[in-house]
Amino acid sequence: MPEGRGHCACPITSLTLLVSLTRMTLDILQELDPPQPAHWRHRLLLYKKGVYLSHTGGKLFWVLGLLILCGFLWTRKGKLKIADITDKYIFITGCDSGFGNLAARTFDKKGFHVIAACLTESGSTALKAETSERLRTVLLDVTDPENVKRTAQWVKNQVGEKGLWGLINNAGIPGVLAPTDWLTLEDYREPIEVNLFGLISVTLNMLPLVKKAQGRVINVSSVGGRLAIVGGGYTPSKYAVEGFNDSLRRDMKAFGVHVSCIEPGLFKTNLADPVKATEKKLAIWEQLSPDIKQQYGEGYIEKSLDKLKGNKSYANMDLSPVVECMDHALTSLFPKTHYAAGKDAKIFWIPLSHMPAVLQDFLLLKQKTELANPKAV
Q: How does pLDDT run across 287-296, given as a tens digit for each residue?
A: 999 999 999 9
Report pLDDT digits (tens) over 87-135: 999 999 999 999 999 999 999 999 999 999 999 999 999 999 999 999 9
More confident residue, 124 or 75: 124
pLDDT at 9 exceeding the cut of 80: no
Task: Output b/e per residue, 52-71; b: 16+ Cβ within 10 A.
Answer: eeeeeeeeeeebeeeeeeee
Note whether 90 and 330 are within 8 A (CB).
Answer: yes
Residue 137 lies in a domain: yes
Distance CA(223)–CA(181), nearest Å, equals 23
Residue 130 lies in a domain: yes
- The catalytically annotated residue of 52, 89, 188, 234 is 234
Residue 167 lies in a domain: yes
**What number of other Cβ atoms are within 10 A of residue 325's Cβ?**
32
Which among 358, 353, 355 has a CA at the least distance from the CA of 229? 353
pLDDT at 216 exceeding the cut of 50: yes
What is the domain count for the chain? 1
Q: Is 232 left (phi over 0), alpha (psi -120 to 50) or beta?
A: left
* pTM confidence score: 0.80
Residue 46 lies in a domain: no
Confidence at residue 2, expressed as pLDDT on a 0 to 100 scale:
41
Confidence at residue 349, expressed as pLDDT on a 0 to 100 scale:
94
Residue 210 lies in a domain: yes
Residue 57 lies in a domain: no
Residue 178 lies in a domain: yes
pLDDT at 205 exceeding the cut of 80: yes
Note whether 163 and 197 are within 8 A (CB).
Answer: no
Residue 215 belongs to domain with CATH number: 3.40.50.720
Active site residue 234: yes
Least confident window among 49-53, 113-117, 154-158, 263-267 = 49-53
Confidence at residue 8, expressed as pLDDT on a 0 to 100 scale:
44
Note whether 350 and 340 are within 8 A (CB).
Answer: yes
**What range does the domain containing 134 cover?**
89-272+316-353
Confidence at residue 13, expressed as pLDDT on a 0 to 100 scale:
45
Q: What is the mean pLDDT of the chain?
A: 85
Least confident window among 55-59, 173-177, 189-193, 368-372 = 55-59
Q: How confident is the model at residue 7 (pLDDT cuts 50, 70, 90)?
A: very low
Distance CA(297)–CA(354), nearest Å, equals 34
Residue 129 lies in a domain: yes
Report pLDDT digits (tens) over 295-342: 999 888 888 877 766 555 567 889 999 999 999 999 999 999 999 999
Confidence at residue 363, expressed as pLDDT on a 0 to 100 scale:
94
